Structure 1
Amino acid sequence: MSIWDWLLNPSGLTPHGFCLSWAPGLVALHAGSDVVIGLAYFSIPLAIATFVRRRPDLEYGWVAYLFVAFILACGATHLFSIFTLWVPAYGVEGLLKLLTAILSIATAGILWPLIPRVAALPSTAQLEQLNLRLRDSEQEARLSNLELERRVAERTGQLERANAQLTEALAERSQAQQALARSEAEFRASFEAAAVGKIQTDPVTGKYIRVNHAFAQMLGYEPEELIGQDGWSFTWPEDRDEGREGYARLLSGEVSTYHREKRYLRRDGQPVWGRLSGSIVRDPDTNQPLLSIGVVEDVDDRHKAQAALEAAKQDLEAMVAARTAALAQRDLLLREVYHRVKNNLQVVDSLLVMQARQTSDPAAKEALLSLRSRVYALGLVHHQLMGSANLNTFDVAPFLQELATNVVEGGADQDIELNVEAIPLEVGLDFAIPLGLLVTELVTNALKHAFPDGPGIIEVVLERGEDGGIALIVSDNGAGYPAGGASGDSAGAGLGMSIIKGLVAQMRGAMSVRTENGTRCEIRLAAPVAP
């Protein structure tokens, strides 16, 4: 048995329709169902492939093409089942099913390991939610910091005023015992009821003589537990050396007041930030230090808020740096795409030049050179995008100048003067390509038909219309187009005019042509929308 017999009629088997007794209803049911299923199977992979092509950023897009192959194979088995109703090609049908089985196993084998990786990718909504939380956290921290600064300023003012009152009360001690007693009572009341911590220390031994409830509570003690204790033992170890240096300057009289933010050691072993303002009460006769007075404001919440703000700022900077790097990578890839497209179009241009040189038929050579101009227009668009700052738009004015100059220099045998006047206009890829092809075709038509006997002038103008749209005007002072060539209504209209009409329709524009004293073609277009 030959291979063809095995594929198309193995062992003389009967076609599938014989099993259905050639009943018209059953044959039509099976054939119709397989047709519908096969067409559906062919439609689904086309839709998947179209989606993947429109989303080149998908990380695992290649898996979709494996699905495409698998579904196409399934559709082929159903369509071939129609063939086996009349032809017993069961060998071919078996090979198709074997191919479908291989593709299905490969698809299933690749799909399962990819599911955890794809599911782990963050969604756009999650990224946006994270950005919103960061902005909210930053705003809350900023407001909290402002409120803390306001409270610190208020409490500092209160501290300075209280310290002034205390100094004044001590200075009045020498005037009268009664005034001293009254001042002492007032001071004690103020000392104990103050919202900020207040301390009195022996300037020689550094031991606490008196502390108020606010200061003791800040350290986690009762006031009486601190009396007689060495004040430096409640300073955080790492802050003691610097604190002693500043206090020594206060004792020596080098400075009159002592201000410092430092950490105190709480009863539970944790640090707490306080802002200490200290001064020395001296003997008016000997100037010897008698008493150290300090006011301690609890600023721990502000320091914690500043630390949290700094951490959030660092996280935000890291995220901004990561997103900046991602955007830079995207721009690099996009520039590479534009560069490769431009290079591929240059290869096509070179092939067209080589083919035109080897073509002896004038009409074919002219057609190849016209095609070369169109390819150049496409390549120039990608070249402009590659050099633009945002990789999305570029100024169309220099683009039209370079494009029209290339067409004239490549297609004019006589002395043709070219004038291009274009307004500055940022355009994207979807607007620039049809506009460039329109200019290429219109200038090429003018070179072909307007100047059969000598030199002339071609003008290309891009201006903004009164309605806010864009007007493209290509005119010459030549002999005009042949009958029917401008409008394209007669049988004489060629491929170039067909392309022009198609491009105008694509851009939803309107074209008008006048042939008095040369030819003037004006195309009205809607202003391009920024991509």
Structure 2
Amino acid sequence: MLRFLESLSSLLDTQGFPARWNCGTVWYQEPWWGWLHIVSDVVIWMCYFTIPLLMIAFARKKGDVPFPSVFALFASFILLCSITHLVDAMIFYWPVYRLAGLMKFATAVVSFATVIALFRIVPAALLLRGPNEAQREIDERTSELRKLTLQLQIEADRREKVVQDLREHRELLKLAMTEGDTGFFNWDLKSNLVAMDTAEVALTGMGEKENNILADDFFSCIDPEYQESVREAARRAVEEGEPYDVRFPFLRPDGRKIWLAGRGCVFKDNRGNPLKFIGLNQDVTAQVERENLLDLEAERARIASEHKSRFIAQVSHEIRTPLAAMLGCIDSLLLTLEKSDTRDMLGIVRSQGELLQVLVNDVLDLSKMEAGRLKYEAKPTPVANVFADVWSLMNPLAQEKGISIRWLAETKIPETIVCDRYRLKQVFVNLIGNAIKFTDRGAVTIVARLESSGPDQNELIAEVRDTGCGIPKDKLDVIFEEFEQAGEERSGAGLGLAICRRLVNLMGGTISARSEIGIGSAFTVRIPIGSIDEETLVVMDQIALESNEESVVREELQRLPLKVLAAEDTRAIQFVLRRMVGSLVSELAIVSNGRLAVEQVMEAEKGPRPYDLVLMDIQMPEVDGIEATRQLRREGFRRPIIALTAGAMESEKQACITAGCTHFLAKPIDLRELRRLMQSISGEKK
């Protein structure tokens, strides 16, 4: 204690320190500067001393002053500053410099501590809202509260309306279920009891006393054939959560059999355990009876369609066989005749025969289209050859009427496109045939061009124009329908344009028509062909078209080094084969049935010169062409067999290929196609 008092007294020791008045002569010369210091320090001391007293009084009154530690440090700092100023005023008379230094040190420590505390609380202090901000937030919260109150009122009104709507819907549902022969059931999975409403009771005839039954009793009334599947559907719905949607026959207790359509769902507890199975049963007896009747009618229609297809195929076969003989004989005569009126007449007869073949093919194709069995075989096809074939076929008909067929290529066109050559030819034979039929003077013009809308977006466009009587505008929308024609005076079956549209659609293209009465008509076919190679584009004019005509009847052919066996039972076709095929190959033998064909081919296999090719008719006595082909393949004959048949149904073609035929030609035989095949076979033989 004594040492502390000694230390305290040393702080008040002024020895060695002069009073500030004695520090320099200016204080005596200008004393007012000294009094200015003394008065200012005393006033500052009084103010600084009062500020912490007021802060302490405020803190005690307020009670919840924010950041109290900083508040205390700041009050201490002000208090020490006031004492420092008081000591500075005293030094003018009492030089207690030691005490002044100690007070300044204490003030520095508290000041530093206050600064540190302020650095720590400034981020938090910035989050405190001012009065204006707080008032603004209060206003916003008040506005939100008003909005929420309004929303709650709206929601309450909506809920009231929903409750009312639910009451109405419940009544409507009850009415609908009653009128729709629909009952409601609630299956308690724990007790295995099924609760039913009055509609369900009336529907099933069960549970009339207590409105509930055991589930097993319900399942036992289901037709035994369906019972297991309905139980399994219910089990999957309960255990696996799958939809329950079944239809089954139900035998009521009164002996009446009805059909029920059941739908339901499973309700589970909070742990996911199934509690109830709730659903509906609807009487669908009338619907099932209608469906059964429709199935019966559909089956009858299918059988009738099959009978029709078989009838058409049979009629086609009966027409094609004599037609093949007629055209073959005409081709044979044309080979021997030079230019004369007789030759021209034979050319017209042959063209008419080929048009008859086109008509037969149209009927067959329509039958295939209706059955969804029409095949489209796309492969690279020379465009010039197709139009040359069309020109050679249709030009005699045009010459007969005194009109011409002209070809106009507005741009270069691709040398080949990928399509079904036969179908493309069929489209333009029909279009040009129609044009010739209704044109009495002038010409039929085929205009072709290539249009491109992008690197891989190219179209071959061919337009058939005529100078005929024209088509009424009200008929332009119907002429592409089956059996529709532009007027009663027009002849024909009304199939050509309908088949053209379907064939062009198969190619992914479109066909359209425009016409003016008395001026003529134009049919435009647009066929997408994808990407093209500029180097393959060619110019095809009228001369090029006619030079591409593949006229078999006048072409001198060198005999092919082939030994051929033809199996054909019709004497007229045998005659044609002997005249036409015999002139193309080095050796030809003809037999009248499949048994003889197998015997002769296998006998030749043992000799030095076996047969290179077999032409096999399909419908023959004793052993038909299909069975004969199978026997030859089983015996090890591996050389080509070409099927020749008057039937043109896809199923017959597939049967021929399955049996082992390598090629298929429909009668009347296209001599050009047969020649190409034999040339190919001869080349492979070499």
Q: TM-score, normalised by structure 2?
A: 0.27
* Structure with the higher fraction of residues in strand conformation: 2
Give me the TM-score of the superposition, normalised by structure 1: 0.34
Relative to total residues, which structure has the larger helix share, 1 or 2? 1
Larger Rg: 2
